[in-house]
Amino acid sequence: MRIATWNVNGIRARLGPVTDWLRDRAPDIALLQEIKTQDDGFPREAIAALGYEIHTHGQKGFNGVAILSRLPVSDVMRGLPGDEADGQARWIEATVTGTRPVRVACLYLPNGNPAPGPKYDYKLAWMERLRARARAILASERPAVLAGDYNVIPTPQDARRPEAWAQDALFLPDSRAAFRRLEHLGLYDAIRLRHPDGGHYTFWDFQRGAWERDDGIRIDHHLLTPQAADLLTDAWVEREMRGGERPSDHVPVWVQLDA
């Protein structure tokens, strides 16, 4: 089972690159963030024609997440529990069944800038809700993958120039501490398991020639339950997508499970 996460930065703006990627790379499961459309505006026909079942949790012009699967999907849940007043579309999860069932969650964690401020408070509160949901998923003792744009640079080795991010919400101590609390529940960072060295960036800003200078950061992650980590056979970053036509500022990140 190959699971890719990709912040596409607007599904309609990048439908061509996305459908080409789905056709050429054929992930079993694609978890998309920042689709930036309501559910009824998602371009279902073009993607369904490639053999994908589609589940979305959309929002007009902002946010939005989607699960695309070539495998059977069941028990879909939209919205991160813990705050009924939160109308932002940032979470969708479901069970996908290959040779065995795997619970997958697609998330778009708040950016949090400017920090300090209400947006940063929302980010940290959202991460606490995520921790509560992760604890419940872990309690099921089954393979699960929590993947997406976490908007957190976990360690200095996850940035080409960590000093440039010192005052940014993505790298502030409280953000990194909240990410560590997720790991301390018993979740495993897939890329870190397979590639303990640095330099495996997933995001390059559109400004200041960041891509050309490889001035990147790693903020797109797969966190695995122990049962999923036991099935992990590979994890990688598809960095070449950043140099393609009409690229997103993020690239796909992959895991392969024996499932």
**Is there a binding annotation on residue 63?**
no
Record the tokens describing residue 194, joined without a space: 């397979």
Q: Is residue 120 part of a domain?
A: yes
Say if 259 falls within a structural domain. no
Q: Is 9 annotated as belonging to a binding site?
A: no
Q: Is 212 left (phi over 0), alpha (psi -120 to 50) or beta?
A: alpha
| Closest residue by Cα to residue 102 from 238, 245, 214, 222 | 222
Examine residue 258 and state whether it is found in any structural domain, yes or no: no
- Does residue 164 lie in a domain region? yes
Active-site annotation holder among 52, 120, 149, 200: 149
Task: Give the sheet arrangement for strand 232-237, strand by strand.
Answer: 53-57, 65-69, 29-33, 2-7, 253-257, 232-237
Q: From first to last of its 259 residues, what are the pLDDT tens digits of the chain?
A: 999 999 999 999 999 999 999 999 999 999 999 999 999 999 999 999 999 999 999 999 999 999 999 999 999 999 999 999 999 999 999 999 999 999 999 999 999 999 999 999 999 999 999 999 999 999 999 999 999 999 999 999 999 999 999 999 999 999 999 999 999 999 999 999 999 999 999 999 999 899 999 999 999 999 999 999 999 999 999 999 999 999 999 999 999 999 9
CB of 57 closer than 8 Å to CB of 79:
yes
pTM attached to this predicted model: 0.98
Q: 256 in a domain, yes or no?
A: no
Q: How many domains does the chain have?
A: 1
Q: Is 150 a catalytic residue?
A: no
Q: Which domain holds residue 72?
A: 2-250
Q: Residue 149 catalytic? A: yes
User: The domain spanning residue 165 has which CATH number?
Assistant: 3.60.10.10
249 annotated ligand-binding residue? yes
Q: Is 221 a catalytic residue?
A: no
